Amino acid sequence: MGKILVYVEHHKDQIKRSSQELLQAAQKSGQSVVALFLGSQAKAAAEQAGSYGAQEVHLINDASLDQYNSENHLAAVTQICEKVQPQIILASASSSGRDLFPRVAARLKSGLASDCVDLSIQGDTVTAKKPLYSGKCFATVNFANSPVKIILMRANQLPVSEPDTSKKVSVQEQAFTKPSLKTIVQQVVRGASEKLDLSEANVIVSGGRGLKEAGNFKLLENLAEVLGATVGASRAVVDAGWVSHGMQVGQTGKTVAPTLYIAVGISGAIQHLAGMSGSKVIVAINSDPNAPIFQKATYGIVGDLFDVLPKLTEEFKKVLHK
């Protein structure tokens, strides 16, 4: 039986949804599932891995791995790969994943498929699907003569079922041989928001230039609070300095695939559509009936967003907070 190594990302003491997807997809393949956790804050999350399908859990409990450093994380992952000898590696196509795993692939002399939206594992055969040309078409990717097959999946693409909490797996802590570093992370400044990251969010409310000024994002925040959503933005308002780049959805921002995406005052340029067209349900609110966003929308509201949003927020309050 082959082994699948899942590189698990976590937030505080919880496994991120994107990694839950990977663990359960690996379990369904019928192969041995090995979960890898890094950092001194990962133990509580690592103890949950069995409930998502891991049969073996490795933890490098080292504070030097708490903040992402490409050299440190490369050394840690390759160390575990040498020990486990996986045939397949699954990881999220997060910012750190996209930086780390091309390095891992080079070190292992293996093939890599990044930014994938679908995955099939049948024995030693791995097939993935990924978008090309800003989502205008898709490529089916497989591997030939690769000792290890590495796949990076977008978040919210694979189903997640309730964890089986009766399944427990002991966490094996591994010593870490630190490499000689060329770069050192001195400080990471995080945003004040406690909202779920856009790439992990199940409901997103995004705003564009139709909001007219930064202060009007409060209308989106009010709606997002009612829905338990995360607020996003188009590139135009990020470039205007209304909101931070971390909120940008699109080809040069974050790629998202929530269950519900509400686009408010966004015209729907191809670069924005490339980042959110994988959403299950898209609701567009725009005063221009010819806005390109309506071509992608599941539901469209043609109207003044300053009139529509407050009414929509009130209606959701009535339904969701009876």
Q: Express each pLDDT in 299-313 by its tens digit.
A: 999 999 999 999 999
List the single range of 39-43, 169-173, 253-257 with lowest mean pLDDT.
253-257
Q: What is the pLDDT of residue 194?
A: 59
Q: Measured between alpha carbons, how far is 57 from 37 in angstroms, rounded to an integer?
A: 8
Distances from the Cα of 80 to the Cα of 6, 7, 69, 107, 263, angstroms = 11, 10, 17, 13, 43
Task: Outline where the chain has alpha helix (H).
Answer: 17-28, 43-46, 70-84, 95-108, 217-227, 235-239, 270-276, 293-296, 305-320
Helical (H) or strand (E) element with 201: none
Band (pLDDT 50/70/90 cuts) for residue 182 is confident
SS3 of 151, please? strand
CATH numbers and ranges of domains, the chain: 3-173 (3.40.50.620), 198-320 (3.40.50.1220)
Average pLDDT, the chain: 93
Band (pLDDT 50/70/90 cuts) for residue 192 is low
Band (pLDDT 50/70/90 cuts) for residue 200 is confident
Lateral strand order in the sheet of 230-233? 230-233, 203-207, 260-264, 281-286, 299-302
CB 97 within 8 Å of CB 152: yes
CB 96 within 8 Å of CB 70: no
Q: What is the pLDDT of residue 191?
A: 60
Q: What is the pLDDT of residue 195?
A: 67
Over the stretch 228-237, which tens digit does the pLDDT of each residue have? 999 999 999 9
List the single range of 12-16, 62-66, 184-188 with lowest mean pLDDT.
184-188
Structural tokens at position 24: 């359960």
By CB atoms closer than 10 A (0-12, 13-18, 19+), residue 188 is exposed
Q: Measured between alpha carbons, how far is 143 from 33 in angstroms, rounded to an integer?
A: 20
